Every structure is written in structure tokens, then in C-alpha cells.
Structure 1
Amino acid sequence: MNQGKTIFAQVMDFFPKHQFRRCVDRYHGNSRVRSFSCFDQYLCMAFAQLTYRDSLRDIECCLRAMDKKLYHSGFRGKVSRSTLADANENRDWRIYRDLAHLLIKEARELYQHEDFGLMLDETVYALDSSTIDLCLSVFPWAHFRRAKGAIKMHTLLDLHGNIPSFIHITDGKVHDVNVLDVLPTEIGAIYVMDRGYLDYKRLFAIDQTPAFFVVRAKSNTSLRRLYSKPVDKDLGLRCDQTVVFTGYYAQKRYPEKLRKIKYHDTDKNLHLTLLSNHFSLPAFTIAELYRCRWQIELFFKWIKQHLRIKTFFGTSENAVKTQIWIAISVYILVAIMKKRLKIDLNLYTILQILSLTLFEKIELFQLLTNSGYRKEEPDICNQLKLFGS
């Protein structure tokens, strides 16, 4: 007799199963599938992410050791490394991309009022990319350099809750600035970027949305000052100027005025020159917005350390993208669970606890809060009494 749910099953209670079926049907994921469905594939890959498995053999060995608990955790198909490898190889990775977008939408609604250090009415995004190195002989499709392969994960991070709102995966040769061509621009939002995204035509497209940007200028950027505003140098500010580009092509591609702010970071002894089309915010707030861009660097560092996106279970482009999108969806799913259960622990601690307790039968809230909370179990009518009354 089964009493209670496993931790894994309770985590999957936050999984949008009905919407996932629509994603599967959209790309015919379960077409001609007899036993190992797309949901079984997702459960196996989610298990690998949550328990830090390193290979398909590792996944198979650990899950078969828990064979008697798999059915009550949601598994319906037989777990086999060859079957999982075939699923990762052949089932469309866009199924899991669409799933991740559904979870991202839900998570952003939950975290939209989270504070990131600046009280602003606008939505603030940080845009950057992270390179994942691959062996070119094993992943010949991942073009990067002559003797080196890689893929890039271009990410737009919503600083309210550090939720990725847009992710675009390309090979390593694609320059960062090209992602601005496919980036969905939100009216009134602020996009904070490093100098790799300084492209006059693409920035002007953001300005015409209309949306705002804060980007670091390059050392050879030619500008002409129109007028200046006074600044408080005690805050690290050096100038706040209204400028225009001086080059012929630069003026043609970005004909409007810009705001130039120079800031000295005393902690790092770093001089920054920032360009923005936002003229109503204080200059120090613009500088603080760029400082908050560091959150996306921490996000990349975190997911590379705690999710399986550096070692892959397959070598094809489909298998790699499937694993990355499932890893992202697991990250978002845990973030949703954390918010809905109102857990005070950080995501790192939650993942560490889950990695050791996935097949334990204990209340998830009790496990993560270490409280004495217990769910009342109903009386079992067919339980025999040892002593009669």
C-alpha cells in the first residue's frame, strides 16, 4: 500500500501537464511512440538535473535502483539509456523550448514585484551571452574556431527575480550583437548591455519601439557634446552630457541625441562611459542600472555550476538543445515551487536538499522548512485493530 507522494511527484505537481501535452502535439512528439513518452523523457532528464547525474548510464542505474517507486513518481515507460538516447536524438527540441517559455511566463508573473535594489516602474532587463565550450570532433555542428567548438546561450534576464525571459541558442561563431535582430522588444522596458551590443542601427530600433537602453561605450566611439548637466562627484559621477554621434554612418544609423554618463567605480577602480536614451532618470540611477547588469554574470555562473549544461548526454544539435532547455525549465520550475510554497531558502539550498530526497515520502513543505508541519492522513477503514474494544 502506498502512503503519500514522493518528493519528486510533489515537485512535478507544479508542472503544467496539460500545456505540455499541447507542446508535444504541436511537434508530434509522441508520434509512433509505444511506451516511452515525451513526459517520461522529461522526467528522466529532470531527475538527472536535480540529482547531478553525469551520463545516460548513470541515469539508468540510479532510476532502476528505485524501480518500485518510479510509477508513483510519474514514470510510465521503462527507463533505458538507449531509449533515452534515441528520444534526445529524435524528438524535437522545440517541445521543451515551448515548455520553458510557458514556465517563464508563469514565473515572471510571480516575481514581477521582487526588488533588485532600484525602485523603478519600468521592467529592467540585462542582456548578455555565455559560451559553452565543446569538442569540435565530437560536436562538428558547433562551429566556433578552427580547432574548437562551442555554443552560445544568449539570455535576456529580468532583474525582478532573476528570471530569464528570452533565451536564444546559437553556435559559437554568432556575434552577440546579432541577437538584437531576434530580440522581442517590450515597450517602455530598459535594456542594460555591455559594449559588445553597441550597434547604432540596432540601438535606434530599440529607441523607436519605444524602449530604453543603457550600454557601455567603446573607447573609440566618436561623440560630440551638445550641453552638460552638473553632477555630484562624491557619488562617483564625472559627467552627464547630451551628445550626438559624429561619424557619417553613425549619424545616419542613429540620428537622435543620446545621454553620455561617465562614472568612476572606486571599489574596482574602473572608469565607465555609458550611453543611454533615457533622459528622465538621474545619472547615478543610470550608473546603478549598469552595475545591476552583473546579475546576469552571476546567473550564468550559477547555472553552469548547478545545472547539467556543460556535460551533455548526446552529441547531436537536437540532443544538446533538448538538454539545455530541460535544464532551464527545471530551474524555472523550482523557482515557481519556491514562490508558491513561500520558501525562504535560496535555490542552491533547495536543489541540494532535493538531490538527496527525491524518492522520500515526506511532505515537501515540511522538508524545505524543517518545520513540524504534518499533513493529516485519513483513517484507513480496512486497517485491522490489534486489540478489540
Structure 2
Amino acid sequence: MHPSDTRFAQLLEGLDRQQIAQSVARHGADAYDKCFSSWDHLLALIFAQLSPAASLRALEVAWNAHAAAHPQLGTGRLHRSTLSDANQRRPLAVFTETFARLVGQLDRRLRRDGRTLLRLIDATPIPLGALHGWARSNGRIRGMKLHLAYTPETHQPRLLDLTPATRNDAEIGRRIPLERGATYVFDKGYCHYGWWSAIAEAQATFVTRPKTNMRLRVRTGRPLPPEPEREGDGFTLLADHEVALASKGDSRLGMGLRRIQLRRHEGGARLTLVTNDLTRPATQIAALYKTRWQIELLFRWLKQHLAIRRFLGHSEEAVRLQLVAAMITFALLRLALRRHCPRVPILRFVDLLRQGLFEPQTWAEVRALLSPRPTATRRRRRTAHAS
């Protein structure tokens, strides 16, 4: 790290320019924009995620105000017309491959830790206005869906797809690369018997909710734990059965199924879960499904703190590029936090970056700014412990 490195330059440490150049050559991404390369484009869209600029004009002014920092980044001045043209015709593949490589860097740490492979799967709507004439409506929203798989233990996102709002969730779920030993948690919108069988064949498990029209017949009951142990974090177990589909779909499932029924403490609503996991205790399976709320929190955080509700262009290509750039930015933030500031909340980290993206500062100085100073009580305790 050079002493003059800015906060923004250090955030970009996770990007490998050589690998990005290979992606650019493979997809011919710079064929029509030689004066505004894919690297320039990527940096501009990452900067847009962390700046308050809400339009191309505002982004142009904010970026060009820091021209002295551009040579260190290997880029130059920004022209809004050039960015607008690039948003129309640059291939999305360079950006998606960049995101996949960042996920790979996060994944290496996960494999070293040997943690449980938990994958939460869900989609969030991206509403679009009347200026996006190409957007479709599913009757509830007019726009797109952002589909993600998410590992909550390591805050690791995995971009699955960007689709029209009319696309069925189960169709996207089937594109997920399945991992042996992983547990996939998803809602009833991802109901597809063939995919469930594929998960079982991959020696993985799933936890979900059945659709209201799914008919199940009980094969055998399973004993519930003693009364005190039926209580989980916010729920009480009611029943645990091994079941089968009571329809023609049964022939498509070459695995055992289990139905777990529980009652939520808040509101008293009953909840039914279906899983192919026949070994874990019912309380653990219910707790796994409860973790699905964490991907909802991720979607909320992305919409509140990154630019995925206001767009710099109206074309479908521009919207897709900006959404993938948002996920690249989130992955870079998580990578920087893991490597340099592991105990710092992401919101405080982002707030500090935004206060001076182009200020020269080392990671040690960033940590010092983000670490709370010990109170008088803490200092007395440290002194007493040392003595």
C-alpha cells in the first residue's frame, strides 16, 4: 500500500485488472468505447454507488472534482454522454464475471473456516418508473427482480440473476450450482419437485414452506423432544412427521420428506416446514428457516445504502449494469472489512468512506478512526487487569 493511496483506491484492492482485461478481451467489451474502457466504466459505477450523485450530470461533476486522484486509479475524466453510451452497449458479462471473482475471494475464507454451508435464496423486486418502457408488470410491481443466494455467516452474496418481474422464482432457483453438504433455505415460491430431487442427489438438504395446494400424506410420526426442549427462539414445536406427496408428483421425488409444524410466539401463527433433512433435530430445522430473515435484511440494507432505487439510465442494459455494480460494491466492502476492519459494522465503514473517498489514508488510520476510544471505566479495568 502506498502512503498516498486514497480510501477509494484501497477499496478497489480486491479487483484484479489483469483478470478484468481478460474478460474484456473475451467479450469484446471495449470494441466500441476505446476512449472509455471497461475499467473506467466499472470505477465510475462503483463510485456512483458510494456518492450522493443522483444523475449523470451530478456524477460527472463529483468524479471530475477529484482529477488529481485519477492517474493513481488508472482512469481519467468522466463525460456523461460517454457514460450514457457505454451503459447502452457494454456487455454485462465483464461485470458479472468480476462479481463472481470477488465472491470466490470471499469463498476461500469460508472454506478455510470449515463452516456449515448455509445458502439463503430469495428475490427482491426492483420497481421501475414509467420512463422504463421496457419493464414488465406481474400485477404487483412493474420492473425487475434481483435474485440472490446469501451466506449469512460470512455476509457473502451470490448473484444468481436479474430477471423481469414476471419470471417465476423456481425457474431461477434451478440455475443455482449445488454444493455437497450445503443447506438451502428458501420460501414456497421456489417450489419445484425436480429441483428438490436434484438437491437431494447432490447430497445437500433444503428447508422450505409448502404451497397451499401441496397435498402430503403422513408415513410415520417422529417423537418430539421433551416439553422444555420444544421451545425455540420465538417458536414452539407442534408436530414432526415423515411424509410423502399425495399426488402424481410423488413419483418424481426419490427421497424422504419431513413436515415440521410449529407455532410462532409473536402472534401465535402456525407455520409448516418441509425438508429432506431426516437427521437434524426439528428445533434446528426451524431455526434454519428463521435465518431466512437475514436475506430480507440484506435486501433492505442494499436498497437503503446503495444506489439500486435510482438509476442513471432508462434502458434495460443501464439498469442491469448498475445493479451488478451495486453487488460488486457490496462484495468489495465485505472483502475490505474482512481483511482490514473485521470488527467494524459495515454501516460505519460506509459512512467513513463517503465522507472522503479520495482522502489519502492507510488502513491503520481507517481502523483508528472507526475504533471507539476506551471509556474511563474500560481504562480502569484494563489497568486493574494488567496489574
TM range (shorter): 0.7 to 0.9
Which stretch shows the higher mean deviation, 291-300 or 20-29?
20-29
AA partner of residue 288 (structure 1)? A
Q: What corresponds to 1:70 in structure 2?
A: 70
Tell me how far apart the structure 2 counterparts of residues 227 and 368 of structure 1 sit (CA, whole Å).
Answer: 56
CA distance in 1, matches of 2:370, 2:286: 43
- The answer as to whether partners of 2:117 and 2:151 remain within 8 angstroms in 1 is yes
Which of these residues, 160, 177, 187, is aligned with residue 167 of structure 1?
160
Task: Point out the more displaced range, 93-102 or 76-85.
Answer: 76-85
Counterpart for residue 376 of structure 1: none
Structure 1: stretches of 5+ with no match in the other structure: 115-119, 373-389
Q: How does 1:1-389 map to 2 (within 5 A)?
A: 4-72=4-72, 74-112=73-111, 122-135=116-129, 137-145=130-138, 149-232=142-225, 233-234=227-228, 235=231, 236-247=236-247, 249-254=248-253, 256-370=255-369
Which stretches of structure 1, 4 residues or more, deviate above 6 A after TM superposition?
Answer: none
CA distance 1:310–1:54, shift in 2 (3 Å): same
Which sits farther off after the overlay, 154-163 or 289-298?
Answer: 154-163
Question: Following the alignment from structure 1 to structure 2, what is the Cα–Cα distance between the partners of residues 36 and 179?
Answer: 33
Match of 1:375 in 2: none
Q: How far off its partner does 1:141 sit?
A: 2.5
Equivalent-residue separation in structure 2 for 1:42 and 1:51 (angstroms): 14
Change (3 A) 1:189 1:148: closer
Q: Retained in 2: the 8 A contact 1:124–1:190? A: yes
Change (3 A) 1:192 1:203: same
Deviation at 1:75, TM superposition (A): 4.5
- Give the C-alpha shift of residue 274 in structure 1: 0.7
Distance 1:10 1:161 in 2: 21
Cα pair distance change 1:3/1:204, threshold 3 Å: closer
Deviations 1:3-61 (A, max 9, x none): 72222222223322221111111111122544321111111111111123211111111
Report the residue type matching 2:240 in the other structure.
D
- Within 2, Cα distance between the matches of 1:362 and 1:188? 42
Mapped partners of 2:139, 2:118: distance in 1 = 37
1:255 CA drift (Å): 5.0
C-alpha distance in structure 2 between counterparts of 1:147 and 1:204, whole Å: 31
1:212–1:278 Cα contact (<8 Å) kept: yes
* Alpha carbons 1:51, 1:356 under 8 Å: kept: no
CA contact (8 A) 2:14 2:102 kept: no
Could you give the per-residue CA deviations for residues 204-246 of structure 1, whole angstroms, max 9, x where no partner exists? 2222223211111233321111111221344111111111111
Mapped contact 2:344–2:370 kept (Cα < 8 A): no
Percent identity among equivalent residues? 29
Distance 1:293 1:145 in 2: 24
Task: Report the counterpart of residue 387 of structure 1 in structure 2.
Answer: none
TM-score of the pair, normalised by structure 1: 0.87
| 8 Å CA contact 2:70, 2:77 repeated in 1 | no
How many matched pairs? Answer: 363
User: What does the per-residue CA deviation read over 1:312-332, in whole Å, with 9 as the maximum and x for residues that have no partner?
Assistant: 111222111111111101110
More helix by share: 2
TM-score, normalised on structure 2? 0.88
